[in-house]
Amino acid sequence: MSVALTGGKRYILTPMDATAISRLTETLEKVAEKLQRHRDLYVRNEAAVRQQVIDPILRTLGWDTEDPNAVVPEGRSDVGSPDYTLMSGGRPILTIEVKNLGSDVAQPGALEQAHRYASAKGIPLCVATNGQMWLLARSFQEGTDLRGRILWQTLVSDQTIRDAVRRFSFIEYSRVRDIDQFVKLQDEVAEKWDELIEEPTDLIGSLVDLLRPRLDDMATRSPYEGFLEDFVDQRVREILCAQSRPTALSQTDADGHGGGDVSGGIRAGSAADILLAAGERAIREGRLASSDRIESGPARYLVSPEPVHKHARPFFSQRQLSNGLFIETHFSLSGARRQAELLDRHKVESGRRRR
């Protein structure tokens, strides 16, 4: 399968065949049943998780767990040993850190441990799992914290089999050679998604076009002709602002065990935190005056004396800095980091001259 995005880039992803998908679905259904029926055993016994949960999944994905050229158990390094190292073409490509079912792998420890093992050996990807929750992450990526390196997470439960099949398919033995393509594709899709969400004019216009034929012509007659656009604009703002709040990974399986409040889990500072810190830093260093405007896009301001964008649209999620400037904080985490860099560069040369 070839996937193309704007700019001409193409990504070649080999699909799993129907037989392989059916086999994987059947295995995951059996594993989900075991996890529910024998939960107490898997909470107490990590070895049982490896042998009765992880091994069957790996074998169904085409990994021969008895072939040291494909799967290396408990490989040693200066920082400890991962439970599995998966090999492709003679090189290690993925480590797996296994915990008992009682461990919440959304907490920092398990993923940090998996990351530490993989990065020490230069292995690009790592997995942390308790048999039910699985997290796949990059082992290293410049400029991102551990939470930002997570590529996907999934649960093995009755309600999530379809999602789990889709996620696991990327580490299937015959497809793992494509995993670099998958990572690049995911990066570009995430970038385009961030652009769409951070500047949602096209999204709002598309929703208006979808909604208009469902209404009578009153929505297009004076004095109501602008009502539909304003209504959609406001609802999109509400949804996007709610989505931009900081979140933590959590585990709540189908029968109600696990997760809940994961205070202390893998958290990322919110976009607002990142941008407020950069704004206050620029103020302290004398680079950001109360009259400054900084553009974040063709129709948007990052900071402005008034919380209004160029086309008279109000800020999606405004906060106010100590010098009275308003700052737009409606960005993804990666977008907030880019905008923080913009603030850090703002008037750097003039600031140096003043000092």
- Torsion-angle region of 74 (φ positive above 0: left; ψ -120 to 50: alpha; else: beta): left
Query: What is the token pair recorded at 164?
Result: 């789990």
Condensed to tens digits (0 to 9), the pLDDT of residues 29-86 reads: 999 999 999 999 999 999 999 999 999 999 999 999 999 999 998 755 455 567 899 9
Better-scored residue on pLDDT, 93 or 225:
93
User: Between β-strands 294-297 and 150-155, what pairing exists: parallel, antiparallel or unpaired?
Assistant: unpaired
**Beta carbons of 168 and 144 less than 8 angstroms apart:** no
Model confidence pTM above 0.75: no
- At 43 the pLDDT is 95
Over residues 144-172, mean pLDDT: 83
pLDDT surpasses 80 at 144: no
pLDDT surpasses 80 at 212: yes
Better-scored residue on pLDDT, 112 or 240:
112
Angstrom distance (rounded) from CA 239 to CA 244: 9
Least confident of 11-20, 91-100, 151-160: 11-20
**Beta carbons of 213 and 314 less than 8 angstroms apart:** no
- At 289 the pLDDT is 94
Q: Which of 105-119, 175-189, 213-227, 291-305 has the highest mean pLDDT?
A: 291-305
